[in-house]
Amino acid sequence: MRRKILLPLIISLVFSLANISQVKAYPFNVTNDYPVASSPQDVVVADFNNDGRDDVAVVGYTTGRISVLLNQAHGLLSTAVNYSVGNAPWGIAAADFDGDGYQDLIVSNSGDDNVSFLENDGDGTFAAAVNYKTGGKPMGLAIGDFNGDGDDDIAVANMDDDTFSMLSGNGDGTVAEFLTIAAPDLTTLTKRNAGTFPRQRLSEVIDGRAEVKVHGPRDMPVWGEWFDYEAMSPDTDRDAREIIVRLRIEALISYVESIQQK
């Protein structure tokens, strides 16, 4: 009788242990909440003090401040240190704008039509913000070397005037005077040229023959030099390289022609 009672219990216990071993492990532990500037809007992660650990900077939309929290190891962050920027800050990004090996911060201020640059002092703290003008109501921003000079530049999307601003980095923590560019509609080139697709003009603009200011209004960038650089190879002579470049430019022109509005 005793065996009849114990046997089902043992079987049940074995199956229970088996089910426990098959329980799926979740990828996150308990959430840690950290007080930051009011109405946190955006966040960026970077190693601000070069200790090999990722730190955090958070935008506080209603306070005109950002909060920086340094990584204390084991997944714990320090108490937030706040820095003033502009009104209604929206986006934030990190990059080494002055070439000193430390990540600086750039913040778009949608209420002031500018961006704030905060230079890293080298220990995870930041200098007072320096502001640069943009278009109307700057929102999202991104970092990249857009002119190929090896220095980080800034692209900012401006909501109020349907433009984006390009700020060219000088490599010393400053940026050149901003350039606001309205996004061109390449599908209307034929309409704007009395119904004829401007193939020759487009070819001259793309390969750089046309006298178009690099920072002035234009419908296409200069691609000739870039295509020429891509075509360079120890096994490619000059004549062959010119053919490769011309074919690539023609392919680009044909694509633009194919998207023209009827």
Which string of DSSP letters, residue by residue, matches 82-140? EEE--SSEEEEEEE-TTSSSS-EEEEEETTTTEEEEE-B-SSS-BPPPEEEE-SSSEEE
In this predicted structure, what is the pLDDT of residue 186? 82
What is d(CA 153, CA 28) in angstroms, rounded to the nearest whole number? 35
In this predicted structure, what is the pLDDT of residue 179? 52
What is d(CA 188, CA 256) in angstroms, rounded to the nearest whole number? 10
What is d(CA 90, CA 39) in angstroms, rounded to the nearest whole number? 10
In this predicted structure, what is the pLDDT of residue 220? 44
Distance of alpha carbon 61 from the chain centroid = 19
In this predicted structure, what is the pLDDT of residue 249? 83
In this predicted structure, what is the pLDDT of residue 121? 93
Residues belonging to the chain: 262
What is d(CA 101, CA 120) in angstroms, rounded to the nearest whole number? 9
Tokens of 230: 């891509």
> Backbone phi, then psi, for 156, in 5-degree steps?
-130, 130
Q: Say which residue the tokens 């009788």 belong to.
A: 1
- Per-residue burial over 227-245, b = 16 or more CB atoms within 10 Å of its CB, e = otherwise: bbeebeeeeeeeeebeebb
In this predicted structure, what is the pLDDT of residue 6? 53
Give the SS3 label for residue 54: coil
In this predicted structure, what is the pLDDT of residue 216? 43
What is d(CA 59, CA 109) in angstroms, rounded to the nearest whole number? 10
Taking the chain (262 residues) in runs of 10, the rounded mean pLDDT of each run is 53 52 61 90 94 95 96 90 96 91 94 93 93 90 82 88 80 59 74 88 75 46 50 59 78 89 83
Helices (H), the chain: 2-21, 199-207, 224-231, 238-258
Cut 0.85: pTM above it: no
In this predicted structure, what is the pLDDT of residue 219? 45
Residues 6+ away with beta carbon under 8 Å from 227:
244, 245, 248, 249
Give the SS3 label for residue 55: strand
What is d(CA 62, CA 38) in angstroms, rounded to the nearest whole number? 6
**Alpha-carbon torsion 85, 115, 173, 40, what sign?**
positive
